[in-house]
Chains A and B, each alone.
Chain A
């Protein structure tokens, strides 16, 4: 496969995952804003931080309002990670790798693009927000379904999966990081209503509230949440789960390759250094510091993948 194609596949699935995560993040933010607990503008600031677009938002907008934040994350072309920009970029990459993906996957990506361009063409009325976000999530799920249902399990598929799980791990880590202070066991307000809402918002942002309830009922606290999002290998958006998938797919790629990829070693390092301990060890290390280290490590993995598989040269 061409290095350029691997690059296009990797970014196509990264951008699709990003669009979907951003949709989920906005839903969560809206939910918190509507419960009117705490300062709602502050909530949008933390949503923008979770999406990693806060600084760019401030540079391009006069003040932080709900409307401006929504517009920035949903449809701004000045924000390369907005839902609209992400879907545009996913589709552009899909065009680039048109020969590697099946016709059905291409059509699903193209339909996602056509739909998002239509529903995000104008500023949204608040009452339309839920339906629009649902549509985005359904479309990205359709693309993923088409990938699973129609693509050969070969290196093409591996690169799609690697892009998905790197983006997902990155996103989950950032969600935890932005909210790490409400997860610290030492915070005196533990057990108050505000914390419960925040905890639930974290779980919702990664679609983990149902799974968490199933696992812990009503008894779970920060310790369990951190364990669930970072270390639980059954939770499909946890760091440990994503790292496992990265390992699997890099291993498949290596099996067909003559050379051994450094990127696989890097992921193994990530697992042994950060994802094999008890949750107490994480708190001892410092939750914020821990997540920061993981984020740095993830970006090193991404860079190493570019080099190993000759994305650019």
Chain B
């Protein structure tokens, strides 16, 4: 590892074993690589058997694939984590305050901190939510903040996922798999548990139920169905929480409430953890062609007789154009300086920024404002001349559709390969639960890893893998 290369979380820049990895490394050193290879195969078999798969979009028949799992854990010290989690909490608090403000008084626009047209002309802004008071005042019940690391304790927020962040089932199953395969690692290292997540999720959802219920809130998970790429996760979470997994056609509005068709008739639901996008949620109020949603659910919601998690319209907070204003947003609502840094972002809607981006396409990462899954983006340094030229045309045609960021030198964590430990780039998505007056962050999160040498794309849809993520008790 040379000093100018990326920061490796195990070996630092100077090839010196970093403290959080000491316990793990002394174990690893004693292990026979052949046994570990066998364990790696065992892990794959375990994932296949338990059916931890995702469906690939764009295939005629939904094909199920495994997300590759790497057995080397990503390890974060308790000290690093406490700073990180303070930053995440601050950011999530700000996001909720921002959403409330945007759908009510719009103070931040009046104060001139964000240009008014950024909201007014934004597709993610949902006029149906204006003046609506979500139960418990919570907009984002579940948030996944995407972070990247560039040096010791240096984390940047890459993206705030405030709509329906996915991947938490992998966080849980990765840990379960590690516990089954290497129990000794967990007696030797003091790793903070993540397994309470489903219980906490259920409690957190129940705590945001509409006020004045005379019974325990009835919670259900709404999935687009068995062919959705994240169906496994929807079923997993419903199962772990012990609640029903419903689809749109199981639901109907009955007597002003959303109810599910049971074998004994329709039964009302109080909290719907929906994994269906806003657009498809209600064919009466949004996309009329949607077969995934429930006609009239928005009317029930606006009448305060249902909690939707996350609330409709939260997309305005994780929009990539709004992202660039996050430092202002955090300061405006918390009165504090942001603890977590944003990646420098050029908004191509602004002429000066566009000019700069067009001049430096080869060095920048350019993303669609509403894109996700690593699709529709340009990674300048690894793109061919032809790709850059093609992207230049797209960018000129619709500049406001894009933002650009510098290519960060993402940290690496070793993966276990044929040749032993080999560094690969990673990111981190911690999961945050929000209920009235309470923000809970599960220690760790989902570490995604680019399995191709030098690659910066960690998305599972593009061949990325995952790792168990440890936060140590210091």
Q: A interface vs B, CB < 8 Å?
A: 1-6, 92, 95-96, 98-99, 103, 106-107, 110-111, 114, 155, 253, 257-259, 309-310, 313
Contact = CB atoms under 8 A, between A and B. Distances in A.
A6 B51 contact: no
18 contacts: A1-B262, A1-B263, A2-B260, A2-B262, A3-B250, A4-B247, A4-B249, A5-B244, A92-B226, A95-B51, A98-B51, A99-B238, A99-B239, A99-B244, A99-B245, A106-B50, A110-B51, A114-B49
A146 B262 CA distance: 25
Interface of B: 48-51, 226, 231, 235-236, 238-239, 243-247, 249-250, 260-265
A114 B5 CA distance: 44
A110 B51 CA distance: 7
Most chain A CB within a 10 A radius of its CB, from B48, B50, B51, B243: B51
A1 B244 CA distance: 8
A243 B239 CA distance: 33
Nearest to B221: A99
Contacts of A6: 263
Given A258-B264, A313-B261, A4 B250 contact: yes
A2 B226 contact: no
Given A98-B236, A99-B239, 4 more contacts: A1-B262, A2-B261, A95-B51, A110-B51
A171 to B, nearest CB: 26
A2 B265 contact: no
Contacts of B235: 95, 98-99
Main secondary structure of the interface of A (DSSP, over half): helix
Contacts of B231: 95
Contacts, number: 62
Given A95-B235, A98-B235, A99-B239, A3 B51 contact: no
B246 A106 contact: no
A95 B226 contact: yes
A95 B201 CA distance: 22
Contacts of B249: 4
A90 to B, nearest CB: 14
Contacts of A110: 49-51
Contacts of A258: 264-265
A111 B226 CA distance: 19
B51 A310 contact: no
A257 B265 CA distance: 10
A2 B50 CA distance: 23
Contacts of B245: 98-99
Contacts of B236: 98
Nearest 6 interchain pairs by C-beta: A98-B235, A309-B263, A99-B239, A99-B238, A3-B261, A99-B245
B263 A310 contact: yes
Nearest to B48: A114
Contacts of A3: 250, 261-263
A96 B262 CA distance: 15
A224 B305 CA distance: 64
Contacts of A309: 263
A108 to B, nearest CB: 10
B169 to A, nearest CB: 12
Contacts of A111: 49
A2 B250 contact: yes
A4 B263 CA distance: 8
B239 A98 contact: yes
A183 to B, nearest CB: 39
A287 B387 CA distance: 75
Nearest to A259: B264
Contacts of B243: 99
Contact of B265 (A5, A107, A310): A310
Contacts of B239: 98-99
Nearest to A158: B263
Contact of A103 (B50, B226, B244, B246): B50
Contacts of B50: 103, 106-107, 110
Given A95-B51, A99-B244, A110-B49, A310 B261 contact: yes
A165 to B, nearest CB: 18
Contacts of A107: 49-51
B404 to A, nearest CB: 41
A162 to B, nearest CB: 12
A139 to B, nearest CB: 13
Contacts of A106: 50-51
Contacts of A92: 226
Nearest to B249: A4
Contacts of A155: 263
A98 B236 CA distance: 8
A312 B249 CA distance: 9
Nearest to B64: A95
A219 to B, nearest CB: 48
A160 to B, nearest CB: 14
Contacts of B263: 1-3, 6, 155, 253, 257, 309-310
